[in-house]
Structure 1
Amino acid sequence: MRVPLSWLCDYTGLPEGTTARSLAARLIEAGLEVETVEAVGADITGPLVAGRVLEIEELTGFKKPIRFCRVDVGRANGTGEPQGIVCGARNFAEGDLVVVALPGAELPGGFAIGSRKTYGRMSEGMICSASELDLWEDHAGIIVLEPGTAEPGDDAFGFLPLREDVLDIAVTPDRGYALSVRGVARDAAALYGTAFRDPAASVEAVGTAGGGHPAEADPSLCGAYVLRTARGYDPAAPTPIWMKRRLALCGVRSISLAVDITNYVMMELGQPLHAWDGDRIQGALRVRAARKGESLETLDHVKRDLDPDDIVIADDRGPVNIAGVMGGAETEVGEGTRNIIVEAGHFDETHIARASRRHQLSSESSRRFERGIDSALQLRAATRAADLLAELGGAQVEPGYTAVGAPRAPRPVALHAAHPGRVAGVEYPRATVVHRLEQMGCTVEGDGDALTVTPPTWRPDLTDPNDLAEEVIRLEGYENIPSVPPRAPAGRGLTPAQRTRRAVGRALAASGHNEVLCYPFVGERDLEGLQVGADDPRRTCVRLANPLNEDEPLLRTTLLPGLLKTLVRNVGRGMPDAALYETGPVYLPREGAPERAPLPGVDRAPTAEEREALDAALPEQPLRAATVLAGRREPAGWWGEGREVSWSDAVESAREVARAARVELVVRAAQYAPWHPGRCAALYAVTGGGEVLVGHAGELHPRVVKAYGLPPRTVAMEIGLDLLLEAAEPLTAPHVSSYPVAIQDVALVVGQDVPAGEVEAALRSGAGELLEDVRLFDVFTGEQVGEGRKSLAYTLRFRASDRTLTAEEAAQAREAAVAAAAERTGAVLRG
């Protein structure tokens, strides 16, 4: 909503020195989103005056009609002599009063005016159109002023609204009243403590009810419906400059006087209106639901099929208007209209909102109806428009009018006087609460702290105590609420799951992975791309009742689809070397859960039975971590060749996660979709009760790579964080020994099918408590170790916490580790 400051000041007096920007700041503090303050016309400078056309000489011999005009500009040119100006417009005559920009003036867009020779004559200035002055959109020609508006030579800034400050407000859905100058002015008056002059209160709705054009209205669709008729309207009557300018500042294009009046009243009061050519209406007007098969050509000349959910206005022939959205072309006000019927209705908000979206017609009317309008304003708004038709268009307003239905009475709300203070954390006296509510138009009753508040008809959003508390708080000033950071009770902090999740994220980020956040929605195509079988548990998904995307109606059972699609997007945008990770929940259906979750009402809190049913329908949500890697893991450069990612990098990312979770991980070969059968590792967490499968890692299957469009040899890992939490060792501070380390290397020959992890586990178990670390640093196969055999070389680090180890102690520990490896895996020392 664009609000010109001068129009707002018609209804409330602001303190001296109040600027548009300071007003905008106060309105923002009160909850209105003022996006910009525009100084319209600030770029117009120099001599801009009124001039009277004395002579017009038609110039011939040119491709278009050109006129040389002698214009009286008084003493504004310094000489008092007529000004010679070349002009191509044809909509003025000798004796007309026009607006003249003299040499030295500058018009919007940096257009400087000077004296120059053109079409064989010296032109000393310019006769201005509305578009050239940025007053409103008009291509009909120059501005012709009404007689008596000014005298030749008068400064145009005195009689034309050239400069104006305009507040552009983004009105939120709960503040429909702010879609009018009346509503914003009321807020401004409350904020500054000035008097508010309600423009609706000045309209005297005289006449006889029941004497207007016959009408009927379905009370379930329309609470109040008013018609006023103006006869003898002059269709040639022009829209006055002040009205055109105000509409243009509000962002509304001038069309004709009748249409401009309905738009003007809508911007002023917030009540949408519609004007019909009364001679084109046949029979009584009826507000009803559309019938199946009906259609209507709207004012934009599009024939629209109507839905039974649409509210229409119909005469004896059928629909002539989609109520609250757009009128029909057949009954629109035209150049020959002499009798006008003005309509003002209070239509059901939800029907209007649905119709606007259904027909893709978001009009100024529908924006206001769907947010809620004043339910008691219809008669005054229609009367205001009819009076303007009489004043500006020469019409005669019929004394009888139609009024169907009655204004919807607001429902009283019980409010404790201390409630706003409890919500804000600031104590507001009872008198302050009552004063602020009365400023908003509420009626407040009650002797003590128990108040009964009746909201005004223009605030349908005030329905419960919290709404009323918000009004008190915002008018008292959000900035006056102290910032008090919450203080955590002693001894509390992050849960073990939260600490583990953060530790995992830090570990993966430190090892070169970038975190991404993916939508949890997948489709059947994503699961088919992973090559998972029809009987795979990951195929059993929770289906959304109202998905954002019809192609992704399921909740994910694995993190991989989102990560793989994100990888493809990054590679496609020039990032071929990528290492991505995500931690988040997957959604697994509970056994015996209902097919559809219950949908309790929003008018109350759910009952215990409803909460139990909702909990039963919720899926299990285990936490997982996953990584995908492609391209080079180590970049090439002057330091040497780079290294492409391999399945071992996926396994290492799993080890990073396990270390962050304080879990020992065992890696074994496996076959599991979507990984390559020969390059897939199963990940086991070592617990007191044995080993638990927690995830998989390795190189993706070529079919998966092709299905998703991934780079060749892409690798991935997925591991269950909840399972790691269950297997995690208690967090204890490590003991740091100050004694030196004893390092022993050992090379063991084992069968080709013996996993290195089993050999490492055997070394750890045999070395005893002196062993600090084991690291595999070499794997060798060849004739020297024999066919079907491999050599694994480990570095063993020994250290005691209370002494320096002797060579004999280190050798004994090494021999014990080798003996354990030989017993459990058949390993022999390499000669």
Structure 2
Amino acid sequence: MRFSEAWLREWVNPPVESRALIDQLSMAGLEVDAVAPAAPHFEGVRIGQVIEVKPHPDASKLKVCTVDLGQGEPLQIICGAANVAAGMRVPVAIAGACLPGDLRIKRAKLRGIESFGMICSTSELGLAESADGIWHLPDDAPIGEDLRAWLQLDDPCITLDLTPDRGDCLSIAGLAREVAAINRVSLNPVAIEPVSPVHEGRVAVELLAPTACPRYVCRVIRGIDPHATTPLWLRERLRRSGLRAISPVVDVTNYVMLELGQPLHGFDLHRLDGGIRVRLAEPGEMLRLLNGEQIDLYPDTLVIADHQHPVALAGIMGGADSAVGLETRDILLESAFFTPQAISGRARRYGLHTDSSHRFERGVDPELQIRAIERATQLILEIAGGEPGPLDESTSPDHLPRRASLELRPERIEQVLGLYIPPETVEEVLGRLGMDIERIEQGWRVTPPSARFDLLHDVDLIADLGRIHGYDRIPVTQLGLAFAPQLPSESAFDLNRARCCLVERGFQEVITYSFVSPQMQALIAPGVETLALANPISAELSVMRTSLWVGLLQTAAYNRARQMERIRIFEIGLRFRLTADGLSQTPGIGALAMGPCVPEQWGQSKLRLDFFDLKSDVEALLTPTGSLDTFRFIPDKHPALHPGQCARIERLGQPVGWIGMLHPALADRLDLPGDVFVFELDLHPLTSGILPRYRQISRYPAIRRDLAILVEQGISYEAVEGCIRSAAAGLLRELILFDVYTGPNIPPATKSLALGLVLQSNDQTLTDEQVDATLATVLERLDAELGARLRD
């Protein structure tokens, strides 16, 4: 919200300087984002009147102008603007003046004729980005007056960064109410009187969607002057508020929106076919908007329609086919209340964001429509003339917002704010904010004003008291709180430790959106039902993720497109899955790795990443649970992973995650290389671990024996390891797999595993007989359970 301080001070003029006023707004929760003068710096520009215009004798595009500045002899100025004419009042930069950009004006000769100044356009004064010619000032502009002083161009323009709950402050009227309450001064609102109709022209209105639009007010105005121009004072107020002047009707509707907070719209009456119908869009309907874009309407979009087709996107933007144009003489002026629920998110769905939708999404005063249309009618009649008709109001009372009263207790105020506020001060502050107050036995019954959609609980009223009283005046006190500290379980999975583990192994943590593209989500988890957002930021971010891989893959693709070859990233966050019991939010940790195993260097050749590199990262992550041996990597299939390099991770038979290479088709779709590896773990099953326990270190020597066994290729090393540990229980301290061989000199469909067994006892030195007996037992068990035998 951008506004002119001078305009605000017409409504309320507190006895404080600009700097203090800005501080007051910020301290009241209306954060000031920027302050800038109404125009960039310039000086030496005066108002002059062109007395005579003659062609330059030596340049066809230049003119010799005689300009009266009201100070002695007129000045001779050379001007190249096509629109300069005798009688015009114009801004003149005299010799010695300084224009924006530090442009100094000097006496000059143009094609042999002297020029003693410069007739300026709005763009040359920094008041517009471009201009078609010199600035034609109003006929009442005082000749000889300093232009900057006359237009008050040092007026501070203040930009507020309002929170979404303060839609009531998106107007001069709303801000003035706040400033008046803060400074305890009176308001001077603009006088608005009902306009008497001079004809009986009406347009029938049907509210076919009263839940979305419970109030619609309109008026026919006939015979406006299509050649009228918006006065300078109104155009300046629009400019200082960040809006561009277009035409009198459009400018007035924008002005009233800024002044009172009610968006309005004007239709060309003769472009409407029949009456007005406020309804939801029908399947297959389209609308060409004022910006020239043609959109296909969604069925849940509220539209303003005539008896044939939609003519406006309700609360967002008008249609081009019913817009007020240069030939328009009869208009239908609209002032409606659209509920926030009906407008919220609709503009973004069509790639739009307008001043109107910005206000309706946050809530417009449902009792403001008549006052706003009367104010707009006054201004249109003053500027463009015309004959007003009667005011037509269509209302569905059952669907209008109801102002629920709230109970407020003095002790509750003191409890929340930590200070005592006298009852008379409470009543004064809330009264100045437009609330109805009734004393009751417990305190007060307060009815919020219709514009305040944010006042739902007593703490909201207390927040208003704190704002207006002044946060800086609330005493600082020490908070007393009794609590029993709870230490985290020593056996629980430590997320900070997990982060450090991955960072130490070369990964970087990323944070991605929890809402993702439905197409991307379907690639990762086809067939999985997702939660669609009711109010998405965009169509590409419209469903909640069910896997962390979506954000990780998009991040990898983004970096890959910027010549990043080696990527190691991880994320810790929630996944959102629809279940029979509703929405399930489960925390997880996921990671992605691609590119060489180690950064490029001279001492080691380029080694590509493989499945077991990422598996070692997962095992390092799970080791702090103290129960790594309870986890199993079981070959399986996942739609997003390579069929031959994919494993389901289980703990004691319970699935806890997935690991594998990205499916080649998905890698091609994302323009990623083939060796992209990912894993994802659920955090809930990892919360219970095993505490480390002391084990006596043996004083006796260890003995190592190596075996080479032959097993079928389908038998996993995990099965071999389990069999050996079970057979050699009590003596086996370490089992080392130091070679795997397949190929010639061994039977087909078998593999050779070379194993090192380290045996040790806690109470004696092992003899050869004991070691041989243990090895014999191991070989017998391997043969009996797995069909393994010693390699010749």
Is TM (by shorter chain) over 0.5? yes
The verdict on how the C-alpha distance between 1:338 and 1:527 changes in structure 2, with shifts beyond 3 A counting, is closer
Q: Separation in 2 of the partners of 1:226 and 1:819?
A: 99
Task: Indicate the residue corresponding to 2:53 in structure 1.
Answer: 56
Kept in 2, the 8 Å contact 1:529–1:708? The answer is: no
Q: Is residue 118 of structure 1 aligned with residue 110 of structure 2? A: yes
Q: Give the match's secondary structure for 1:131.
A: coil
Task: Indicate the residue corresponding to 2:10 in structure 1.
Answer: 10
Q: Separation in 2 of the partners of 1:403 and 1:539?
A: 52
- Aligned length, in residue pairs: 770
Q: Separation in 2 of the partners of 1:587 and 1:564?
A: 18
Task: Indicate the residue corresponding to 2:626 in structure 1.
Answer: 662
1:202-351 residue pairs with structure 2 within 5 A?
202-205=191-194, 207=196, 212-218=200-206, 220=210, 221-223=213-215, 225-227=217-219, 229=221, 234-275=225-266, 280=270, 286=276, 288-289=278-279, 310-312=302-304, 314=306, 324-326=315-317, 342-347=333-338, 350-351=341-342
Unpaired segments ≥5 residues, structure 2: none
Q: Separation in 2 of the partners of 1:339 and 1:561?
A: 55
TM-score normalised to the size of structure 2? 0.79
Q: Is residue 653 of structure 1 aligned with residue 617 of structure 2? A: yes
Q: Give the match's secondary structure for 2:77.
A: strand
Q: Separation in 2 of the partners of 1:527 and 1:330?
A: 40
Kept in 1, the 8 Å contact 2:419–2:475? The answer is: no
1:58-99 alpha-carbon deviations (Å, 9 max, x no partner): 1145353x2112333355xxxx54322110224444454322
Q: Is residue 71 of structure 1 aligned with residue 64 of structure 2? A: no
Task: Indicate the residue corresponding to 1:748 in structure 2.
Answer: 707
The CA deviation at 1:6 is 0.9
Percent identity, please: 29
Q: Give the match's secondary structure for 1:102.
A: strand
Q: Separation in 1 of the partners of 2:292 and 2:550?
A: 47
1:240-260 alpha-carbon deviations (Å, 9 max, x no partner): 322221111112222334443
The verdict on how the C-alpha distance between 1:424 and 1:136 changes in structure 2, with shifts beyond 3 A counting, is farther
Which one-letter code corresponds to 2:566 in the other structure?
D
Q: Give the match's secondary structure for 2:124.
A: coil
Q: Separation in 1 of the partners of 2:569 and 2:705?
A: 36
The verdict on how the C-alpha distance between 1:673 and 1:255 changes in structure 2, with shifts beyond 3 A counting, is closer
Q: Give the match's secondary structure for 2:90.
A: strand
Which one-letter code corresponds to 1:7 in the other structure?
W
Q: Separation in 2 of the partners of 1:404 and 1:713?
A: 65
1:125-178 alpha-carbon deviations (Å, 9 max, x no partner): 2111223223356735323444553243x3222212332311123444433322
Task: Indicate the residue corresponding to 1:141 in structure 2.
Answer: 133
Which one-letter code corresponds to 1:26 in the other structure?
Q
The verdict on how the C-alpha distance between 1:81 and 1:734 changes in structure 2, with shifts beyond 3 A counting, is farther
Kept in 2, the 8 Å contact 1:420–1:473? The answer is: no
Q: Separation in 1 of the partners of 2:393 and 2:679?
A: 71
Which one-letter code corresponds to 2:81 in the other structure?
A
Task: Indicate the residue corresponding to 2:149 in structure 1.
Answer: 158
Kept in 1, the 8 Å contact 2:219–2:333? The answer is: yes
Task: Indicate the residue corresponding to 2:505 in structure 1.
Answer: 511
The CA deviation at 1:749 is 3.0
Task: Indicate the residue corresponding to 1:494 in structure 2.
Answer: 488
Kept in 1, the 8 Å contact 2:521–2:546? The answer is: no
Q: Is residue 633 of structure 1 aligned with residue 597 of structure 2? A: yes
Q: Is residue 542 of structure 1 aligned with residue 529 of structure 2? A: yes
1:29-40 residue pairs with structure 2 within 5 A?
29-40=27-38
Unpaired segments ≥5 residues, structure 1: 531-537, 594-615
The verdict on how the C-alpha distance between 1:755 and 1:96 changes in structure 2, with shifts beyond 3 A counting, is closer
1:30-78 alpha-carbon deviations (Å, 9 max, x no partner): 333433222332422x3222233343221145353x2112333355xxx
1:230-273 alpha-carbon deviations (Å, 9 max, x no partner): 76x55544433222211111122223344433332332222334
Kept in 2, the 8 Å contact 1:214–1:284? The answer is: no
Q: Separation in 2 of the partners of 1:105 and 1:374?
A: 48
Which one-letter code corresponds to 1:249 in the other structure?
R
The verdict on how the C-alpha distance between 1:765 and 1:465 changes in structure 2, with shifts beyond 3 A counting, is same
The CA deviation at 1:669 is 8.7
The CA deviation at 1:581 is 4.2
Task: Indicate the residue corresponding to 1:176 in structure 2.
Answer: 167
Q: Separation in 2 of the partners of 1:167 and 1:354?
A: 27
Kept in 2, the 8 Å contact 1:289–1:308? The answer is: no
Q: Is residue 779 of structure 1 aligned with residue 771 of structure 2? A: no
The CA deviation at 1:443 is 0.8
Q: Is residue 190 of structure 1 aligned with residue 184 of structure 2? A: no
Q: Give the match's secondary structure for 1:421.
A: helix
1:418-817 residue pairs with structure 2 within 5 A?
418=410, 421=413, 424=416, 426-427=418-419, 429=421, 430-477=423-470, 480=474, 489-494=483-488, 499-516=493-510, 541-544=528-531, 567-582=556-571, 593=580, 616-618=581-583, 627-665=591-629, 671-673=635-637, 711-717=673-679, 722-723=684-685, 725=687, 728-729=689-690, 731-732=691-692, 734=694, 745-752=704-711, 774=734, 776=736, 778-779=738-739, 790=752, 792=754, 794=756, 796=758, 808=765
Kept in 2, the 8 Å contact 1:667–1:681? The answer is: no
The verdict on how the C-alpha distance between 1:463 and 1:425 changes in structure 2, with shifts beyond 3 A counting, is closer
The verdict on how the C-alpha distance between 1:190 and 1:63 changes in structure 2, with shifts beyond 3 A counting, is same
The CA deviation at 1:651 is 3.2
Q: Separation in 1 of the partners of 2:311 and 2:647?
A: 71
1:207-234 alpha-carbon deviations (Å, 9 max, x no partner): 47x9753354446345252537576x55
TM-score normalised to the size of structure 1? 0.76
